[in-house]
Homo-oligomer: A and B are copies of this chain.
């Protein structure tokens, strides 16, 4: 039983995003929950049997709201902005990669830009993980039927199996949309 897994590790893709309350580099409650769940319920002590693939999709700031107070005087200013966004995303991924490194689970992490549900499916179909784990806000009793548009979309459009992990009720902020 304590024998090493000889087969290739199970490749689990985990989509992660930043906290809507605290912003970068903090991971959302549901991303952390999905990650912790994967480690405690799936990987457990079999750290060599799994490889985690972290995807962070950045949503393009189309309305420029995040940079309202910035001044753009040259093309370089825009490059700076894009670079800053990328660095923020890397700091987010660092949390997950560091933790995997500490416990000895192989991992990879990367950033893409676009509509999260579309990009997650595209990347899942490209990378072909064994399955995809998505954090989900798991809204209150009135919205219980709603599992999340991203996970619902991915269940239908990703080629691999998808599992949505809801936040614990105790972790849900007062406004359940905050994450």
Contact = CB atoms under 8 A, between A and B. Distances in A.
A7 interface: yes
Interface in A140-166: 144-145, 147, 152, 155-157, 161-166
A166 B42 CA distance: 20
Given A2-B2, A44-B46, A46-B49, A131 B163 contact: yes
Contacts of A7: 40, 44
Nearest to A165: B161
Contacts of A49: 44-46
A3 interface: yes
A162 B131 CA distance: 12
Nearest to A3: B45
Interface of A: 1-5, 7, 10, 37, 40-42, 44-49, 104, 130-131, 144-145, 147, 152, 155-157, 161-166
**A-B pairs with lowest CB-CB distance, top 4:** A163-B163, A2-B2, A46-B46, A44-B49
